[in-house]
Amino acid sequence: MSIKMTSQQRSVSIHKETDSNIKGVDMRFKNVKKTALMLAMFGMATSSNAALFDYNATGDTEFDSPAKQGWMQDNTNNGSGVLINTDGMSAWLVQGNGGRAQWTYSLSTNQQAQASSFGWRMTTEMKVLSGGMITNYYANGTHRVLPIISSDTSGNLVVEFEGQTGRTVLATGAAATEYHKFELVFHPGSNPSASFYFDNKLIRDNIQPTVSKQNMIVWGNGSSSTDGVAAYRDIKFEIQGDVIFRGPDRIPSIVASSVTPGMVTAFAEKRVGSGDPGALSNTNDIITRTSRDGGITWDAELNLTEQINVSDEFDFSDPRPIYDPSTNTVLVSYARWPTDAAQNGDRIKPWMPNGIFYNVYDVSSGNWRAPIDVTDQVKERSFQIAGWGGSELYRRNTSLNSQQDWQ
C-alpha cells in the first residue's frame, strides 16, 4: 500500500526583479536569500521564499538616489530629495517643504497576492527634522494601514493612524529629532490588522486598515499642503513567505536529496490542541511537506499517521528522518503513545500499546509507503518506550541470535 503525494503545489515564490521599468535603471530590489531553510518553518521574518524591496542610503554614485535603486519619484511643486552625509553616515533627505516629496513602487499581481496571504513588514530607520505627514506604508488597491509621523508644536515626535483617534508621543526633547527605528507589521487573515513598533517597542496593536484605491509602497512626505522634512538611512519592505509549518506544530526536521537536486522533505508533529504527546487535550500526528525546487514551493501537507490513528487513540512524536542516497529514499521514524499517557510521567506502562513506526518516501516516484510497525523488533517488553535516534544512515551486515549482543 502506498500514499500518493498530491502533485499540486502552491507557488509562493517571488520573481527576482532584474529588469527596470523606470527609465532603464537596473533594479536593486531582491529576493531574500535562503540563509537557513529552517527559518521558514515557523514564521521567522527571513524565509527562503520571502521578497525584500529596500532603499539604502549610500554614497556610491551608481546607487546614490532612490531612483537608481528602483523607486519612482512622486513629488509635487517644490518637493525634492537629496543625499546628505552627517556623522559619517549617508541619508536621503526628504524635503517636503512647499510640495509633496515621496517615493513609490508598485508590486506585481503575484507579489500583491502573497503580501495579502502571508503578510508583510515595513521597517524604517529615519529621523523627523520638522513638520509632519511623514508616511511610510503599503496600499494594495483595496485598503492601507497609514501611520502619520510628525513633529508637533511642542517639538515632540508623535504618531497617529488614519481612521483612528488620538496621538501617541514617541520621543521628546533632543531624542525627538534623532534617528529611530519604525516598524509596521501587517497580519493577514479573515480580520486583517497591523501592529506598529517604535525602537522595537510595541506602540499600537490591532490597527484596522482603511479603504484606499492606491496600489503601491510609499515613503516620504505624503502631502502637498503639509510641510515635512525627514532623513532616511534605510527603508525595507518585506513580503513574508510561505510558512512550512505553523504553531502549535513542533519538533521540525528536514532532509534534502543528494541525487535529485532541489528535493527537500520537512517533518513536524501536528499538535492539534497544543499539548505534548500523551496529553488528553490534544492529538499528535506526524506531518510532512515536500519541495522540489529547494524550498521555493511546497506540496500540500500530508498526514503520515492518519491511517493508523483513525479514532485518535494514539499520539505520535519525534519524527527523525534519514536520507539514503543509494536508493534515493527518505526513512522517517517516530514513536507512538497512548493518548492518555504522558511521555515524561509515570502513566506510561510497558504493557501499553506504545511503539516505534517508520515510513519510507521514494523520491523518484513521489510515493509514501504505508507506516510500518517495528515495535517488536526494537523494543524489549520491559521498556516503557523505545526511541529511534540519529540523523545519518549506517550499514552493518550481521546475524544475531537471542544470546548475542550488538557490539
Per-residue pLDDT reduced to its tens digit, 168-208: 999 999 999 999 999 999 999 889 999 999 999 999 999 99
Q: What is the CA radius of gyration of the chain?
A: 27
Distance between CA atoms of residues 93 and 109, nearest Å: 31
pLDDT computed for residue 222 by the predictor: 94
C-alpha cell at 257: 536529496
Distance between CA atoms of residues 299 and 319, nearest Å: 18
CB contact at 8 A, 42 and 35 = no
pLDDT in tens, 193-252: 999 999 999 999 999 999 999 999 999 999 999 999 999 999 999 998 777 777 777 788
The two beta strands, 101-105 and 201-207, are unpaired
- Long-range contacts made by residues 62-70, C-beta under 8 angstroms, separation at least 24? 63/28, 64/90, 65/92, 66/92, 66/103, 67/22, 67/23, 67/25, 67/103, 68/25, 68/28, 69/27, 69/28, 69/29, 70/17, 70/20, 70/22, 70/25, 70/27, 70/28, 70/29, 70/105
Cα-flanking dihedrals φ and ψ of residue 116, to 5°?
Answer: -70, -35
Expressed in angstroms, the distance from the first to the final Cα of the chain is 35
Residues of the chain with pLDDT under 50: 1-48, 406-407
Distance between CA atoms of residues 23 and 350, nearest Å: 74
Burial grade of 324 (CB within 10 A; 0-12, 13-18, 19 or more):
middle
Beta-strand ranges (E) seen in 37-87 are 51-56, 72-75, 80-86
Distance between CA atoms of residues 174 and 320, nearest Å: 55
Distance between CA atoms of residues 328 and 207, nearest Å: 49
Please state, in angstroms and as integers, the Cα–Cα distance from residue 18 to each residue in 22, 69, 185, 313, 316, following that order. Answer: 12, 11, 26, 53, 46
Structural domains of the chain, ranges and CATH numbers in brackets: 51-239 (2.60.120.200), 250-378 (2.120.10.10)
pTM passes above 0.85: no
pLDDT computed for residue 346 by the predictor: 59
